[in-house]
Structure 1
Amino acid sequence: MNKIIVLLILLSFSSILKAQNAIQYTVSLENAVHHEASISMVIPQVPAGPLKVRMSRSSPGRYATHEFGKNIYDVHAYDIDGAEIKINQIEGDVYEIPNHQGKVKITYTLFANWVDGTYAGIDHRHAHLNMPASFMWVPTMQNIPMEVKFNLPLNWKVATQLIPKNGVYYAPNLQYFMDSPTELSNYQLKSWEVKNPDGLKQKINIVYHGATSDSVFNDFENKVKKVVIEAQAVFGELPKYENGEYRFLIDVLPTHAGDGMEHRNSTIITSRGESLDQKAEDVLGTVSHEYFHAWNVERIRPKTLEPFNFEKANMSDGLWFAEGFTQYYGELLLARAGINSPEDFASLQGNFLNAVLNAPGANKYSPIFMSQRAVFVDAGVAIDQNNHANIFSSYYLYGDITALALDLTLRSQFKLTLDDYMKAVWKAHGKTEIAYNISDLEKILGEITRSEDFAKTFFSQYIYGSQKADYEKLLAPAGFVFRRSQPNAAWIGNSRIVMKEGKAIVSSAAIKGTPLYLAGLDAGDAIIKMDENNIVNEQSILGFLKTKSPGEMLNITYERDGKTMSTTLKLANNPAVEVVTFEKAGLTITPEIEAFRKSWLNSKASN
């Protein structure tokens, strides 16, 4: 027999065996109007001994725990003959079948009524399934293939990175399955091909569920295309997507939460709104960020997230790079694509600088520390109070301003760019999919700059340490001014104050080092008077402060625990900062500045 035919037969037989051994799910949506799905799970060839199955506690792209087991019930188990057998709930999200005959079927009801990147949502319009929030799994069978059959209402279609195969959707293992969000609806679809330098063609898909006009949807598609090619230009190529496709799974409905969540060959993007016509700008911002994750996080992965553990929180020391550098590029790609102006980009960087540089946590702790705090702040749920205001600063924004500093430093000192650095990281750790340690990122920086000393100093000061770059000096060559936005304004602090029953209540923790903090005021205190001025609303505070100057002393009368008390407060300069163009600041733009700015912010797709 022909050797090629024999090989094809063997490969076909191997595929059949894998399909027979796959864990098989069926999803039915007869009660979708009440946010329920009926799910069955057939597990073939169960090893001898008690069988444990479970729901996840965490989800790809998230770092805290989410306790998905709370939304399944009516859990039953059956043997190979269809007879019901005993299944015990031994933990909140873990079930055990003590006795079986080698093949088991489990059924349960899933309640799903929250559409975002983490949870699941089902109603009469669609089913939006994040896999960890939806499917039980077997901890001892994580390398077994998995298949799903969807019993759909009329006109609904399936959009997923799961691989279509003879009427079912296939994943080679648990990690791929859990990383494959799925949209079931009568969605709209836009598709096009993007070509890599080596000739590889791959399809990009916009899967959109929600209302929109044709003109807005067409304009949105054109802008997404620009973002895709600008992202491709950073690395020089697209990743190789399994099945040759990438999907933006986008939902815009009034009942949704706003979110974006990256996955290996797709991303979930949800927005609360009546239609894409209202939310296109917001959604494009999420598109730009999440698509960059197809390289940075999905393939350039920190070793601390490998393999992802669905049973607990996943702590990483590298989120300043994984999320923060992606935050930077998400905004930079919009500028390079011509969707946002250079002024918009600079203004937003000013907002991020303001948020980080005026955060007491970022002035004390490193980006690595902030990354490790994600297990507590990344949509983690707790009811007790915390001190995040004084110890935490977003690793998204902290990482962004670190990327900004590195990009401008490379351009000024080495005639390199952050794109050069990202390409080198991609070559070493993305294409190879060799997870990195922080020391690897430092090593690559030393290699591209040919200066181990520079790399060591940069990481020592700005990654392991909490020093901040000289942003005024770094931004000037591009024609941007970094400055105080309200340099002579009197300021009491940025704690939130709300009016309640005619009293100004400090409703959030006093920020360390601010006048309120130094005066001994804290959350729950009610400010009654500033000097002899009664505080009756927020305007009375703002109006009074306009008559004062930094350095002046105020007498504060306040209530605490029903008692009237007083303290002295010293007004400070408002520390808020901003970034504006030389043009707005009345400064001259030289040809050198114009060239620097264009090299940084203009399109790279045609280069």
Structure 2
Amino acid sequence: MKKTLLLLFIFTAALQIKAQEAIQYTVSFENAVHHEATISMYVTQLTTEPLIVRVSRSSPGRYATHEFGKNIYDVKAYNADGKEIIIEQTEGDVYTVPQHQDKVKITYTLFGNWVDGTYTGIDSQHAHLNMPASFMWIPALQNRPITVKFVTPQNWKIATQLILKDGFYHAPNLQYFMDSPTELSNYDVKTWEVENADGLKQQINIVLHGKTSDSTFNDFETKVKKVVKEAQAVFGELPKFDNGEYRFLIDVLPTNAGDGMEHRNSTIITNKSESLDKSANRILGTVSHEFFHAWNVERIRPQSLEPFNFEKANMSESLWFAEGFTQYYGELLLARAGINSAENFAKTQGRFLNSVLNAPGANKYSPIFMSKRAVFVDAGVSIDKNNHGNIFSSYYIYGNITALALDLTLRTQFNLNLDDYMKAVWQAYGKPEKPYQLSDLQNVLASYTQSPDFAKLFFEQYIYGTEKANYKTLLAKFGYVLKLTNAGKAWIGNEFLKEDNGKIIISSAAIKGSPIYEAGLEEGDKILKFEDGEIAGLAVMPEFLKAPIGYTVKVTFERNNEIMETKLTLLSDPNLEVISFEEAGLTVTPEIETLRQNWLGSKSKN
């Protein structure tokens, strides 16, 4: 009986959804040269209640707020008979139509002059639309279907995951629409087919707006194909894309901002460059990272981000996994595809290890804490100073070295690997699109290793806690050395210094634990003397750092036009790097070679 009632409810709800008329948008670009578009929204089947219309404050793939409402103006409302009616701006991004008929048309001007993964860029060459930054919407009607008609210059084409039918582009609801970035331009396209083991064939597209030579574009396509195959090999299959297609929407212009932003069936990749010829290698790094997101975060999705809320910042405790493990695989896939060398991969991991192991924030706070900080650091809107240098370590990088620790531990302790763990998470939560909680990731690890004690300890130490793995020992098993970059050399700190009229100016915030911090020096201070000798700018630093570790010097400095003194003690340089056994003059045994090949070698059969 319960099952019958449930089926009746689903059938009735489906009929109601089918009966709902779509919200209709029209977008035109008469003033594109000055970065403006004209957008209208036509909505029917309204009740007599005041109509609330708003602009988004956040965007999928970003976690902070971005206040898109600032670029929408000239907002007007009309009844079906064409008569203009009152529309009131009740908040910065909220508008109300107090009285209206059952059909209403709202028009406005959109300004967009920032090409990246979050905002909108419009000019005479193209329109690069991120939907939350572009379209007003109705909170009460988020489940309504949506159609869009783009009125474009004659040579512009349209690339989007929205479904084209009868000259209109369709989305089933607001969540899908907002996750559908769109490129309108005279772009170039590369297309090929990829097949899953079960016979499912899907199309991959590279949409490129920007200059390139044929040889560079062909080589770029070849390398992207390799990345796609290596990512597919990790999970054993591509996701089932909604329309059987995936698009890399790549925009390369000198006026762009650099960015990459994942979406369900596509990714936006923007680069500040004259051409693909000069930026292909950098873009491939973004391609690798963002494509891995098609599994990890788009379908292996934390419950804390589901559904995405466009009205506020979206906080998640799982970004160390969603972004950090993706960062790890973004680098790893390039090595497996032969695009980057194993040595390059190892050195990159060394930079990441140095960044986290020597960060005061990462030594005090967990990856979960860093994940939650995303609402403040993910290109969020603020102009005041902050203390990120002492309390924050990127969840991308923190998560990366956590993935590194887990991968190497699985390979050496269990004869397993991170690939198959990711595949297990995919099968349990990604493929059925069941949002996960942190406890679920731990439970999958326990099941995969058949060791609940290991999974519990790993999460207690490295996810909920702040302990760090023994990376030196782990890496040595694979033929890599984690070592001090400048062993035995004195160190003043990693703070940035610049020169002005012979004075040394501290140009970044003091980092806890550095000699500069412990001496009570701070950003903006001007160093005038070491001991009683006048200094001649940054040229004195190499000689000064030849002093022995533990040497204490009197420092005369200027702060707010006041001359002050302090004592600064040189410490040992803690900076780290990773080099290969070969570079270190150590022997690579057959056992090491096997472990290294199993880790970094290609997993694609093609």
| Shared fold (TM-score, shorter chain, > 0.5) | yes
1:356 CA drift (Å): 0.6
Q: Distance in 1 between matches of 2:330 and 2:109?
A: 38
Cα deviation for residue 335 of structure 1 reads 0.2
Give the gaps of 5 or more residues in structure 2: 1-10
User: Deviations along 1:262-310, whole A, 9 cap, x unmatched?
Assistant: 0000000000000000000000000000000000000001111011000
> 2:598 & 2:236 partners in 1: Cα distance?
17
CA RMSD of aligned residues (A): 1.4
String of CA shifts for 1:460-479, please: whole Å, max 9, x gaps.
00000010000010001111
Q: Distance in 1 between matches of 2:439 and 2:269?
A: 33
Asked if 1 retains the 8 angstrom alpha-carbon contact of 2:368 and 2:463, the reply is: yes
1:47 to partner: Cα distance:
2.3
Structure 1 residue 532: deviation in Å? 3.7
> How far apart, in 1, do the equivalents of 2:538 and 2:278 lie?
31
* Residues 19 and 145 in structure 1, CA contact (< 8 A), matched pair in contact too: no
- Given the alignment of the two structures, is residue 531 of structure 1 paired with residue 564 of structure 2, yes or no? no
Give, in whole Å, the separation in 2 of the partners of 1:17 and 1:524.
Answer: 60
In structure 2, the residue matched to 1:134 is 134
Give, as a single letter, the amino acid of the residue that structure 2 aligns with 1:487. Answer: A
Give the Å deviation of 1:568.
Answer: 1.1
1:208-249 per-residue CA deviation (whole Å, 9 max, x = no partner) reads: 000000000000000000000000000000000011000000
Q: Distance in 1 between matches of 2:450 and 2:533?
A: 62
Q: Provide the rounded CA distance (Å) in 2 between the counterparts of 1:563 and 1:335.
A: 53
Deviation at 1:509? 1.6
Structure 1 spans left out of the alignment, 5+ residues: 1-10
2:550 corresponds in structure 1 to 551
> After superposition, what is the alpha-carbon deviation per residue over 1:467-508, rounded to whole angstroms, capped at 9, x for unaligned?
000001000111100110101111011112222343212122
Q: Which moved more, 1:432-441 or 1:558-567?
A: 558-567
The aligned residue for residue 494 of structure 2 is 494
Residues 152/16 of structure 1: CA separation in 2 closer, same or farther (3 Å cut): farther
SS at structure 2 position matched to 1:543: helix
In the aligned structure 2, how far is the partner of 1:303 from the partner of 1:419? 22
Say if 2:554 and 2:565, in contact at 8 Å, map to a contact too.
Answer: yes
CA distance in 1, matches of 2:50, 2:324: 44
Q: 1:48 Cα shift? A: 2.4
AA at the equivalent of 1:220:
F
Structure 1: distance between partners of 2:48 and 2:499: 64
Where does residue 540 of structure 1 map in the other structure? Answer: 540
Q: Is the partner of 1:320 in helix, strand or coil?
A: helix
1:363 match: 363
After TM superposition, the structure 1 = structure 2 runs for residues 46-61 of structure 1, keeping only pairs within 5 Å, are 46-61=46-61
Residue 255 of structure 2 is matched in structure 1 by 255
Is the 2:500–2:537 Cα contact (8 Å) retained in structure 1?
no
Q: Does 1:601 align with 2:600?
A: yes
- Give, in whole Å, the separation in 1 of the partners of 2:47 and 2:398: 48
**2:200 counterpart of 1:200:** yes
Question: Which residue pairs with 2:403 in the alignment?
Answer: 403
CA-CA distance at 1:519 after TM superposition: 1.0
Contact 1:227 1:333 in 2 (8 A): yes
Partner of 2:264: 264
What is the CA–CA distance in structure 2 between the aligned matches of 1:17 and 1:91, rounded to whole Å?
30
C-alpha distance in 2 between matches for 1:277 and 1:103: 51
Change (3 A) 1:350 1:86: same
Q: What secondary structure does 2:37 align onto?
A: strand
Letter in 1 for 2:565: S
Q: Percent identity?
A: 69
The 2-side partners of 1:81 and 1:565 are apart by 75
Give the drift of 1:17: 8.6
Equivalence for 2:5: none
Amino acid aligned to 1:425: V
Using the TM superposition, give the Cα deviation of residue 254 of structure 1 relative to its aligned residue in structure 2, in angstroms: 0.2
User: Which residue identity does 2:454 align to in structure 1?
Assistant: F
CA deviation string 1:116-168 (max 9, x = no partner):
00000000100000000000000000000011000010111000011111101
SS in structure 2 opposite 1:21?
coil
Quick check: 530-539 or 281-290, which moved more? Answer: 530-539
**CA distance in structure 1 between the partners assigned to 2:543 and 2:144 by the alignment:** 67
Task: Give the drift of 1:16.
Answer: 13
Alpha-carbon distance between aligned partners in 2 of 1:395 and 1:540, rounded to the nearest angstrom: 37
Distance 2:251 2:190 in 1: 14
What is the SS of the residue equivalent to 2:477? helix
- Structure 1 CA distance, aligned partners of 2:176 and 2:69? 20
Q: Distance in 2 between matches of 1:536 and 1:304?
A: 54
1:66-465 aligned at under 5 Å gives the runs 66-465=66-465
Structure-2 residue corresponding to 1:579: 578
For the residue of structure 2 that corresponds to 1:137, the secondary structure is coil
Per mean C-alpha deviation after superposition, the further-off stretch among 460-469 and 16-25 is 16-25
Once residues 509 and 242 of structure 1 are traced to their aligned partners in structure 2, the CA distance between those partners, rounded to angstroms, is 47
Preserved contact between residue 40 and residue 106 of structure 1 (Cα < 8 Å): yes
Corresponding residue for 1:564? 563
Contact 1:300 1:436 in 2 (8 A): yes
Report the Cα offset of residue 15 of structure 1.
Answer: 10
CA distance in 2, matches of 1:263, 1:89: 31
Could you list the per-position Cα deviations for residues 333-382 of structure 1 after superposition, in whole angstroms to 9, with x for gaps in the alignment? 00000000000000000000011111100000000000000000000121
Deviations 1:302-331 (A, max 9, x none): 111011000000000000000000000000
User: 1:4 maps to which residue?
Assistant: none
**Is 185-194 or 500-509 further displaced after alignment?**
500-509
Cα deviation, 1:24-57, whole Å, max 9, x if unaligned, reads 0000011100100000000111122100000000
Q: What amino acid sits opposite 2:151 in the alignment?
A: N
CA distance in 1, matches of 2:277, 2:428: 41
- Once the two structures are overlaid, the 10-residue window that deviates more, 140-149 or 14-23, is 14-23
Aligned equivalents of 1:246 and 1:49: distance in 2?
A: 40
For residues 390 and 31 of structure 1, do their structure 2 counterparts lie closer, same or farther at Cα, with a shift above 3 Å needed? same
- Number of equivalenced pairs: 594
1:250 counterpart letter in structure 2: I
What is the DSSP-based 3-state SS (H/G/I as helix, E as strand, rest coil) of the residue aligned with 1:228?
helix
Measure how far apart 1:20 and its partner are: 6.9
Q: 1:18 Cα deviation (Å)?
A: 4.5
Measure the CA separation in 2 of the matches of 1:33 and 1:86. 31
C-alpha distance in 2, partners of 1:58/1:480? 42
Structure 1 residue aligned with 2:520:
520
Aligned to 1:591: 590
Aligned to 2:513, the other structure's residue is in SS state coil
Tell me the residue number matched to 1:3. none
Say whether the 8 Å CA contact 1:535–1:541 is kept in structure 2.
no
User: What residue in structure 1 maps to residue 7 of structure 2?
Assistant: none
* In structure 2, C-alpha distance between the alignment counterparts of 1:254 and 1:19, rounded to whole Å: 47
Kept after mapping to 1: 8 A contact 2:501/2:537: no
**Distance in 1 between residues matched to 2:228 and 2:137, nearest whole Å:** 34
User: Which amino acid in the other structure matches residue 552 of structure 2?
Assistant: M
Q: Distance between the aligned counterparts of 1:261 and 1:73, measured in 2?
A: 26
Give secondary structure in 1 for the equivalent of 2:243: helix
- Give secondary structure in 2 for the equivalent of 1:408: helix
User: In the alignment, what sits opposite 2:3?
Assistant: none
* Structure 1 counterpart SS, 2:176: helix
Q: Is the 8 A contact 1:241 1:265 kept in 2?
A: yes
Summarize deviations over 1:515-567 as a string: whole Å, max 9, x none. Answer: 1111111112111112244333222223321x212111111111122221211
Q: Secondary structure at the match of 1:389?
A: helix
Structure 2 CA distance for partners of 1:43 and 1:536, relative to 1, 3 Å = farther
2 CA distance for matches of 1:278 and 1:530? Answer: 44
Residue identity in the other structure for 1:129: L
Whether the 8 Å CA contact 2:515–2:569 is kept in 1: the answer is yes
Supply the distance in 2 between the matched residues of 1:533 and 1:480 (Cα, whole angstroms). Answer: 44
